[in-house]
Chains A and B, each alone.
Chain A
């Protein structure tokens, strides 16, 4: 635990990974006995790396993120996040409706131990980072879906964790808003030394964002294949290179899904 005392800049050099998932399995008690959801997952996220985890609906992506976030324990295997508790962004914004946008961020700062006098300025800075300068005093219900997700992103960043876990955070947004948020996420990731593990079932989104795409098979979830994405940022979701790799990955994903129909 000595590592957690080290400053953020030191950590990246001290450790070789932002998250290390080793031989992790997870099963739940279901109606038909124990159901194996994740089977022997081994995955490293390097410091500063952007990894997307891709898989069909119900393959256990959220389960895996919850394990990494420490919200649940693996049935077997181990998970190491040397930077301490990772930040987590959900598919729903999960902002607290009894607080304003700014106060949501300040609560995260407060729980992190930031002194009272510095919270407001820091919250304003984080809102500027997601380009929501005027949203400090806004209530959650006064914000649009895209703005809510940006506040949620600012709140996650307020945890000042090395590792950001994102569970389909843009799935409920329209295409243009999602495009914009992809741009923002890439920019913020480039500006900070954040490592990101991003879950999605959208192949193009995975390719648009990641340095590495990891494909999970379904029932039980296993790592099926992974791709390194060598396309220069800033990318766009319509780029030919993005489309080409997406096509290849989609074929593989279809194969995975088809395999389940055969028996």
Chain B
């Protein structure tokens, strides 16, 4: 084929290589990391300002005496409750009781929801049978499960876990189903031409391609776990169950201790946000970023 003399072929090849190098340099996307300062100013500062503003408005309302003090405690009173709990050494016990329950429940929901989601996504009969129920269950407030769970299992930890599972499993399974459904057919075809069929296709193509949807499901699953647990703890408080954040809130109501109630609500909120910020958001962002799906603003 190449009957041209070697020198001209060689120079032509060099030519091509040079042109190509130029094109690559021109078109390659430059990826730079945002400096820490910018992150602080753009990401950390705004929520801090918002929190400070809320505290300020709260203090102003208290100082203006818009309502009785037992209805709206001062921020300092809430702070005092926190300090008292800290000094008594009960703060971490209470937090740990709830957080460990929620995380354990979440892990169980993960272990059940993942295979369930895969089944619904891949087996047509299973999908037709329980797919609609599974997505319908998401709109059922998990607090509805507390009364039957108490009657089935009594006031025990297992009842709490049951409520968490009923709340979180549908979210996790549905997230996975959505993730699998959204896998572009092109990837499946490309996988098949490379020889990834059956289980190998599921492992190398479908699972990684469905990961963003799955992670979104996990994030929602966590939110549902936490909410379900709080509902269960508030309704079903009993000395055998230990003192969690939900019981702390319920105790505050029984003792008409408004600062305690505020503290419990704030702690519930902070824990929910913290787990999301520390675990799920970074996970989701790193997955999206590595695939070029996260546009920097």
Residues of A within 8 A of B (CB): 69-71, 85-88, 90, 92, 94, 96-99, 107-108, 111-112, 131-132, 139-147, 155, 159, 176-177, 180, 183-184, 187, 190, 232-234
Residue from B19, B187, B194, B205 with most neighbouring chain A CB atoms (10 Å): B194
- B128 at interface by CB-CB < 8 Å: no
Interface residue from B13, B20, B192, B291 paired with A139 (Cβ < 8 Å) = B291
| Contacts known (A111-B200, A187-B13); A90 close to B29, Cβ less than 8 A | no
Encode B274-295 as 1/0 by CB contact (under 8 A) with A. 0000000000000100111100
Which residues of the other chain, B, contact A145 by a CB distance below 8 angstroms?
Answer: 27
Q: How distant is B287 from chain A, measured CB to nearest CB, in Å? A: 8
Q: Which residue of A lies closest to B13 (CB)?
A: A187
Which residues of the other chain, B, contact A131 by a CB distance below 8 angstroms?
Answer: 17, 20-21
| Contacts known (A98-B209, A180-B19); A147 close to B193, Cβ less than 8 A | no
How many angstroms from the CA of A50 to the CA of B20 in the assembled complex?
Answer: 23
27 A-B contact pairs sorted by A residue (CB < 8 Å): A70-B193, A85-B193, A90-B190, A92-B186, A94-B187, A96-B209, A98-B208, A98-B209, A98-B290, A107-B204, A108-B194, A111-B195, A111-B204, A131-B20, A131-B21, A132-B24, A140-B291, A142-B29, A144-B23, A144-B27, A146-B24, A147-B24, A147-B27, A159-B195, A187-B16, A232-B4, A234-B4
Supplied contacts A90-B190, A144-B27, A184-B20, 4 more A-B pairs, CB within 8 Å: A94-B190, A139-B292, A147-B28, A177-B23
Encode B187-223 as 1/0 by CB contact (under 8 A) with A. 1011011111000100011001101000000000000
- B39 at interface by CB-CB < 8 Å: no
How many angstroms from the CA of A96 to the CA of B293 in the assembled complex?
Answer: 13
Contact B291 A141 (CB under 8 A): yes
Contact B193 A88 (CB under 8 A): yes
Q: Which residue of A lies closest to B12 (CB)?
A: A234
Q: Tell me what chain B mostly uses at the interface: helix, strand, loop, or mixed.
A: helix
Contact A111 B194 (CB under 8 A): yes
Which B residues, 13 to 50, have Cβ-Cβ distances below 8 Å to chain A?
A: 13, 16-17, 19-21, 23-24, 26-29, 31
Which residues of the other chain, B, contact A71 by a CB distance below 8 angstroms?
Answer: 189, 192-193
How many angstroms from the CA of A155 to the CA of B77 in the assembled complex?
Answer: 65
Which residues of the other chain, A, contact B87 by a CB distance below 8 angstroms?
Answer: none
Which residues of the other chain, B, contact A147 by a CB distance below 8 angstroms?
Answer: 24, 27-28
How many angstroms from the CA of A143 to the CA of B28 in the assembled complex?
Answer: 6
Which residues of the other chain, B, contact A70 by a CB distance below 8 angstroms?
Answer: 193
Which residues of the other chain, A, contact B196 by a CB distance below 8 angstroms?
Answer: 107, 111
Contact A94 B3 (CB under 8 A): no
Which residues of the other chain, A, contact B187 by a CB distance below 8 angstroms?
Answer: 94, 96
How many angstroms from the CA of A146 to the CA of B24 in the assembled complex?
Answer: 8
How many angstroms from the CA of A73 to the CA of B16 in the assembled complex?
Answer: 40
| Contacts known (A141-B29, A143-B28, A234-B12); A98 close to B211, Cβ less than 8 A | yes
Contact A190 B2 (CB under 8 A): yes
Contact A112 B195 (CB under 8 A): yes
Interface residue from A85, A144, A180 paired with B29 (Cβ < 8 Å) = A144
Q: Which residue of A lies closest to B208 (CB)?
A: A98
Q: Which residue of A lies closest to B211 (CB)?
A: A98
Which B residues, 44 to 67, have Cβ-Cβ distances below 8 Å to chain A?
A: none
Q: Which residue of B lies closest to A69 (CB)?
A: B193
7 closest pairs, A vs B, by CB?
Answer: A141-B292, A144-B27, A94-B190, A97-B291, A111-B195, A88-B193, A98-B208
| Contacts known (A108-B194, A111-B194, A232-B4); A142 close to B17, Cβ less than 8 A | no
Interface residue from A98, A111, A144, A187 paired with B24 (Cβ < 8 Å) = A144
Q: Which residue of B lies closest to A111 (CB)?
A: B195
Q: Which residue of B lies closest to A84 (CB)?
A: B195
Contact A180 B27 (CB under 8 A): no
How many angstroms from the CA of A157 to the CA of B72 in the assembled complex?
Answer: 71
- B158 at interface by CB-CB < 8 Å: no
Contact B194 A159 (CB under 8 A): yes
- B1 at interface by CB-CB < 8 Å: yes
Which B residues, 205 to 243, have Cβ-Cβ distances below 8 Å to chain A?
A: 205, 208-209, 211
Which residues of the other chain, B, contact A90 by a CB distance below 8 angstroms?
Answer: 186, 189-190
How many angstroms from the CA of A261 to the CA of B56 in the assembled complex?
Answer: 76
Contact B16 A139 (CB under 8 A): no
Interface residue from B3, B27, B204 paired with A232 (Cβ < 8 Å) = B3
Which residues of the other chain, A, contact B90 by a CB distance below 8 angstroms?
Answer: none
Which residues of the other chain, A, contact B2 by a CB distance below 8 angstroms?
Answer: 190, 233-234
Which residues of the other chain, B, contact A139 by a CB distance below 8 angstroms?
Answer: 290-292
